Structure 1
Amino acid sequence: MGFLFDRCIQYCRRTVDRYHEVQEEKAMQAVPTAPIDASKFVAYVQERRKKRILFKGEYLMVNRSIDNNKCRCDVGSTMTDRNPYPDTLPYDHNRVILPRIDNDENSHYINASYVNSWLKDKAYVVTQAVRTKPMNAEFWRMVWELGSNCIVMLTKVFDFMRVMCLQYWPQTKFQFREIEVETTEVKTYSHFVIRTFKLTRKTEESIETRIVKHFHFTEWELDSFPYISAFIELRRRVRQFMEKSPVDAPMVVHCSNGAGRSGAFLALDANLELMKKTGQLDFFEYAKTLVNSRPHLIDSVEQYMFIYEVLSEAVMCNVQPIEMHLLKERSSMYKAKKNRELLESQETHENKLLMHLTPTLRIGDCAGGHRLENRGKNRDVMVVPPDHARPYLQTLHGESKDYTYINAVEVDGFTRKAEFIVTEWPKQSTVDSFWTLIYDHACHTVVNLSNQGSTRHYPSFIHNKGKQNYGPFIVEVMNYHQYPAMTSHMVKVMKRTFMISDIMATGAQNQQIDAEVRICCVIQVRMWPIENKVPLSTTGLIDVIKMARSWRKRAPDRPETKPTIVMSHNGVSRVGVYIGANICIDQMDIDHEVDVFHAVKMMRINRPQLIDMKDEYKYLYDVMLHWYMTNPDYRIYDKEDSEDTDSQKTSRPPSNRHSIKEKSSFRSKFSFRRRNTTRQNENNAVEYHVNNK
């Protein structure tokens, strides 16, 4: 019987394998035979999502296109000491060949490959991460010899406690053999860092200097895929720089092994450049170019599908940031009926995109909040944080079996991951958890955007003077102030801790030892009635934002690395307006542009309910207009932007928002004249617009 059972199992397996082979053969016959129009690309990807075997069919056909006679690694296989990842060697036919150095017969070799784009031969050089100190100098020598002015780095320096790449750039200045590298500027964002290097090479005849931009994507971990919008945004900034500073040299791209992640970036950039030129995309054919240029540039079906998803979102979400001064022009569109209808149509288009692209959190994603012991800690069972993005509590408190849980979720800012923690007004049973959250995560600011309603539903969680105990914490109010739009409590939070050995030795019941003290500013609005979705004006909210940002600059213990808690009565309403405004303000300060659309899209990753698309989305634009008009420091950039617009209309990316179909009409129909008004008149205009829109 056992023998017959085994034979049956083998027969079933062979039948299943044969069935899969037949399905794969059919899928390989359904590969695209021509480029796909951008207008049809999203539908093409959506159709293939329903039958994922079609993606696998394309992937198998791509691998079948590899020319084994051409794709040989004879040279690389002999350079064992120069290949940190020996399974990814450059093909002989397109490897980068460096000038030889005296007394080093192998100095011509570096593990790097030329790769063509759709529009240019040798548009890219893909290489491996720098893993040894001698490779530092080799890397910079390659950059210099190629004449490249752009480096794209797609790996972390450390990933899961492993060194993936040495920091091959200096903090200030360093000499790598004959090339001196100086770091002149660093701009840090939540998902990437942009650095500017000055390279100098001195010879007996001359001194030559070059500027190189370094785009470091910091959020692509091993065995995972990154946040798609951030990946697309990195590519947008790379292209923006390349268009402003064109050179006849390849872009240098590397990840850890110079394979899959680099291939994904090349596929994105090359196909979006093709779409810009012809209105079409052809990833299937370009994937053949990649696999014949370097091993493992397309290394799995999952990566192949990911690239399609990235291209689909890039085509669908063609919404560009706008320059700061265009906020006034955008507001003026409400005056004329025709312009107002066009703007409302564009807002509707953006809202549909946001609804479509907002991820859906499943119960399994939020398992911690749905556990029996935690259900009573949530005000709404439909608003529960995903486990990967909730701040875990560490201090033992309360009587719950799971003291680590609170209904709170981390939200990225413009310059830092998890810059904000969004939470709801604590229930009577979770007030202790609220103060545990403040203490355990060293939060320097709490912004409460709701007035207190019924004390039965919204219990008081802070007092106005003296000391009071909240679970294992003593909270002392150091000062309390009332303002027209808000109140502020400056509090000192101390943990009550007891040493068991001291209690046993002395018999004391309250032997307390010193613990770390936290200083926190609790700001609560007064101008936002509980029944209103948005405030009646922007002035009060602007005052709250200014106070919180001012305190963040002078708070103790490195506040730039600590999160800000933003809360409302339900943990959903209002908080998106505050966080979105802060994201856009940081963008205005650093990049002198505004992108409300992508700010909202990023906020909704971990809490999809943030931002009411009807009221809060529009109000966020009003807040940004008010902030812009009341900050005269921005005027210098307005002048530069307007001069650039006049002199570089053909080369600048479009400043107005547009879909693909509306691109030309939206740009050509509306060209608004800027008005010079006094600061007081501008403020009055903002308030009138907000109150009467």
Structure 2
Amino acid sequence: MIWQENIEYIVMLTNLIEGPKKKCHRYWSNEDEELELDPFSVTLIEEKVYAYYVIRILNLKKREVTGSRRVLQFHYTRWPDHGTPNPLDLVIFHRHFRHKVNPTQRPILVHCSAGVGRTGTFIGLDVLSRYGKDNGKVNVIEYVKTMRKDRMTMIQNVEQYIFLHHALFEFFRRQGRIIKREGFLNVCCGSANRETMKEITNEFNELSTLKPVYDSEDFTTGINHLHLNKTQSVLPVEQYLVSLSSHVSGRDAYYNAVTVSSFTQAEEFISAQLPVTGAAIDLVRLLVDQESNFLISLNPLANIDEMKKWVDENVKQILLEPYEINKSAQSTLNGIRKTTLNIEVKEKLSHEVHIFECLDWSPDNVLPADTSSLINLIKQFSSDRKSEPDGPVTVISKDGATCCGVFIAVYNAIEQLQQDDEIDLCSIVQQIQCRRPEMIATKAEYEFCSRAVCDFLNMNNVYANT
């Protein structure tokens, strides 16, 4: 069908397997291999992985036909088996899809498993968003009726129908502002002129209107454990809360921590607060339960009562029943201290954790004195992360939002520039604010993020080997 209809673009909205069910047979090869589907052969030319989707370039050949055809596949990988995804995440996927698609008269192939539910929802988003952008209005119910004239059950259930409205709402209230690398460097890395500052101010003000509005039900667990929160105004959103699974007598399953995605990996970060008095063991449980091998502290731990022994070079062993923490190595470079710990549970389990501390970033300050502290932290952490890419990275600050948001936003922006040679910092911040609305709470933080990304690019010539 792809060959017959001269299809250049595919949108795939299902995984190959979801739960116990096979949803779709794999119709592309592994990299550097050829998949034979007589009389066709399919070769994977390139694959780029993002937090919620994958983009693949496929090469398609037909036996006894001269030449080959290239097909660009956009594969959304985070649509839950029963339910709907985050509307903003799908809108950003759709935005990337339309950003890459060249105008064509050829049909675009959209498929899920049955080809009606997720497929109808995405087509509805695509058609109605473009129509609404041009005409200033949409009629959702009439377009769904139009789709169903061609395929009876397009948009399969009421949840998908409601979701389409939410996705259109996200699309229309912000169109996105993707800037190529050169434009970003020219605007943000040049001298701070009045127009540049006005643009940054407008983006930050726009972000303030885009923050999700949560009510008390969204913070139920945090409200029920107020004594375990450093700051009672920063509570974990229920949907993204990380619960503790290990049992320790007298301890609850609660810790103020939420999952946050990086640009290329879903749920790569756990944004957590520093432990309150007597709760250091809960942070240990979090690291072990989640198999997190990296702990990034944006502030020095030497003055934090619950954690100062973790980084004291004179303390080699810490006992937190039933855990035993042994220190194996420690070093300091460019204001970043790295400490390696081994956590054991009654000699049955050994879990290694690398702590990276930013020694120049005072917990009393929302931002460090300059961008070099954050840049050095990202450089050193990224180097180690390459050799241990699995498991989430735990990022801590006094409340799990201040400082953490700046680190994650800058890290994600650098990833986007490295992967796509372009950046949309506003969308990056909007996505992390869905997880913790208190992140990047001031214009100064947003300005600092832009400046830090520019300084990182200038200091490291990050594109030399891209």
- Residue 215 of structure 2: which of 362, 366, 369 is its match? 362
How far does residue 287 in structure 1 lie from its aligned partner after superposition?
2.8
- Residue 433 of structure 1: which of 275, 282, 289 is its match? 282
- Residue 195 of structure 1: which of 46, 51, 56 is its match? 56
- Residues 664-688 of structure 1: CA deviation (Å, up to 9, x unaligned): xxxxxxxxxxxxxxxxxxxxxxxxx
- Residues 635-689 of structure 1: CA deviation (Å, up to 9, x unaligned): 688xxxxxxxxxxxxxxxxxxxxxxxxxxxxxxxxxxxxxxxxxxxxxxxxxxxx
How far does residue 525 in structure 1 lie from its aligned partner after superposition?
1.4
- Residues 617-637 of structure 1: CA deviation (Å, up to 9, x unaligned): 110001100111123242688
- Residue 617 of structure 1: which of 436, 442, 446 is its match? 446
Query: Match of 2:408?
Result: 579
Rounded Cα–Cα distance in structure 1 between residues aligned with 2:277 and 2:321 = 12
Kindly provide the amino acid, as one letter, of the partner of residue 529 in structure 1.
S
Query: Match of 1:644?
Result: none
Rounded Cα–Cα distance in structure 2 between residues aligned with 1:283 and 1:455 = 54
Kindly provide the amino acid, as one letter, of the partner of residue 528 in structure 1.
W
Query: Structure 1 residues 357, 222: CA separation in 2 closer, same or farther (over 3 Å shift)?
Result: farther
Kindly provide the amino acid, as one letter, of the partner of residue 348 in structure 2.
A
Are 1:407 and 2:236 an aligned pair? no
- Residue 246 of structure 2: which of 384, 387, 395 is its match? 395
Rounded Cα–Cα distance in structure 1 between residues aligned with 2:309 and 2:222 = 23
Query: Match of 1:519?
Result: 352
- Residue 225 of structure 1: which of 66, 78, 84 is its match? 84
- Residues 441-473 of structure 1: CA deviation (Å, up to 9, x unaligned): 221211111234865687655432422212322
Kindly provide the amino acid, as one letter, of the partner of residue 114 in structure 2.
N
Query: Structure 1 residues 458, 445: CA separation in 2 closer, same or farther (over 3 Å shift)?
Result: closer
Are 1:416 and 2:265 an aligned pair? yes
Query: Structure 1 residues 633, 385: CA separation in 2 closer, same or farther (over 3 Å shift)?
Result: closer
Query: Match of 1:10?
Result: none
> Is the 8 Å Cα contact of residues 148 and 247 (structure 1) preserved in structure 2?
no
Query: Match of 1:88?
Result: none
How far does residue 488 in structure 1 lie from its aligned partner after superposition?
1.5
Rounded Cα–Cα distance in structure 1 between residues aligned with 2:177 and 2:18 = 32
Query: Structure 1 residues 313, 260: CA separation in 2 closer, same or farther (over 3 Å shift)?
Result: same
Are 1:494 and 2:351 an aligned pair? no
Rounded Cα–Cα distance in structure 1 between residues aligned with 2:304 and 2:49 = 43
- Residue 175 of structure 1: which of 36, 54, 67 is its match? 36
Are 1:470 and 2:320 an aligned pair? yes
Structure 2 stretches of 5 or more lacking a match? none
Query: Structure 1 residues 398, 163: CA separation in 2 closer, same or farther (over 3 Å shift)?
Result: same
Rounded Cα–Cα distance in structure 2 between residues aligned with 1:320 and 1:213 = 23
Query: Match of 2:382?
Result: 549
> Is the 8 Å Cα contact of residues 202 and 208 (structure 1) preserved in structure 2?
no
- Residue 448 of structure 1: which of 293, 297, 301 is its match? 297
Rounded Cα–Cα distance in structure 1 between residues aligned with 2:464 and 2:377 = 23
> Is the 8 Å Cα contact of residues 431 and 461 (structure 1) preserved in structure 2?
no
How far does residue 485 in structure 1 lie from its aligned partner after superposition?
1.6
> Is the 8 Å Cα contact of residues 154 and 216 (structure 1) preserved in structure 2?
yes
- Residue 605 of structure 1: which of 426, 429, 434 is its match? 434
Query: Match of 1:651?
Result: none
| Between 285-294 and 457-466, the greater mean CA deviation after superposition | 457-466
Are 1:485 and 2:335 an aligned pair? yes
Kindly provide the amino acid, as one letter, of the partner of residue 603 in structure 1.
I
Rounded Cα–Cα distance in structure 2 between residues aligned with 1:462 and 1:396 = 26
Are 1:379 and 2:230 an aligned pair? yes
Kindly provide the amino acid, as one letter, of the partner of residue 184 in structure 1.
I
Rounded Cα–Cα distance in structure 1 between residues aligned with 2:448 and 2:75 = 34
Rounded Cα–Cα distance in structure 1 between residues aligned with 2:303 and 2:158 = 55
Are 1:151 and 2:10 an aligned pair? yes
Query: Match of 1:324?
Result: 181
Query: Match of 1:256?
Result: 113
Rounded Cα–Cα distance in structure 2 between residues aligned with 1:292 and 1:581 = 47
> Is the 8 Å Cα contact of residues 398 and 471 (structure 1) preserved in structure 2?
no
Query: Structure 1 residues 278, 614: CA separation in 2 closer, same or farther (over 3 Å shift)?
Result: same
How far does residue 384 in structure 1 lie from its aligned partner after superposition?
2.2
> Is the 8 Å Cα contact of residues 451 and 528 (structure 1) preserved in structure 2?
yes
How far does residue 239 in structure 1 lie from its aligned partner after superposition?
2.0
RMSD: 2.4
Query: Match of 1:162?
Result: 21
SS of match in other structure, 2:70: strand
SS of match in other structure, 1:145: coil
Query: Match of 2:172?
Result: 315
> Is the 8 Å Cα contact of residues 448 and 525 (structure 1) preserved in structure 2?
yes
After TM superposition, which residue ranges in structure 1, 4 or more long, deviate above 6 angstroms?
A: none
How far does residue 388 in structure 1 lie from its aligned partner after superposition?
3.4
Query: Structure 1 residues 230, 627: CA separation in 2 closer, same or farther (over 3 Å shift)?
Result: same
Give the structure-1-normalised TM-score.
Answer: 0.63
Give 1:639-658 correspondences, 5 Å limit.
Answer: none
Query: Match of 1:13?
Result: none
How far does residue 584 in structure 1 lie from its aligned partner after superposition?
0.9
Kindly provide the amino acid, as one letter, of the partner of residue 485 in structure 1.
G
Aligned length in residues: 463
- Residue 208 of structure 1: which of 57, 61, 67 is its match? 67
Rounded Cα–Cα distance in structure 2 between residues aligned with 1:176 and 1:484 = 55
> Is the 8 Å Cα contact of residues 485 and 525 (structure 1) preserved in structure 2?
yes
Query: Structure 1 residues 239, 454: CA separation in 2 closer, same or farther (over 3 Å shift)?
Result: closer
Query: Match of 1:295?
Result: 152
Structure 1 stretches of 5 or more lacking a match? 1-141, 497-513, 638-693
Give 1:611-690 correspondences, 5 Å limit.
Answer: 611-634=440-463
Answer with 1 or 2: which has the greater Rg.
1
Kindly provide the amino acid, as one letter, of the partner of residue 322 in structure 2.
P
- Residue 563 of structure 1: which of 380, 392, 405 is its match? 392
Rounded Cα–Cα distance in structure 2 between residues aligned with 1:239 and 1:439 = 41
How far does residue 549 in structure 1 lie from its aligned partner after superposition?
0.7
Rounded Cα–Cα distance in structure 1 between residues aligned with 2:144 and 2:85 = 20
SS of match in other structure, 1:627: helix
Kindly provide the amino acid, as one letter, of the partner of residue 410 in structure 2.
A
Kindly provide the amino acid, as one letter, of the partner of residue 340 in structure 2.
M
Rounded Cα–Cα distance in structure 1 between residues aligned with 2:305 and 2:353 = 26
Rounded Cα–Cα distance in structure 2 between residues aligned with 1:543 and 1:576 = 17
Decide which structure has greater helix share: 1
Rounded Cα–Cα distance in structure 1 between residues aligned with 2:62 and 2:268 = 40
How far does residue 281 in structure 1 lie from its aligned partner after superposition?
4.2
SS of match in other structure, 1:353: helix
Kindly provide the amino acid, as one letter, of the partner of residue 597 in structure 1.
C
Query: Structure 1 residues 335, 216: CA separation in 2 closer, same or farther (over 3 Å shift)?
Result: closer
SS of match in other structure, 1:603: helix
Are 1:238 and 2:97 an aligned pair? yes
Aligned-pair identity (%): 25
Query: Structure 1 residues 445, 264: CA separation in 2 closer, same or farther (over 3 Å shift)?
Result: same
SS of match in other structure, 1:415: coil
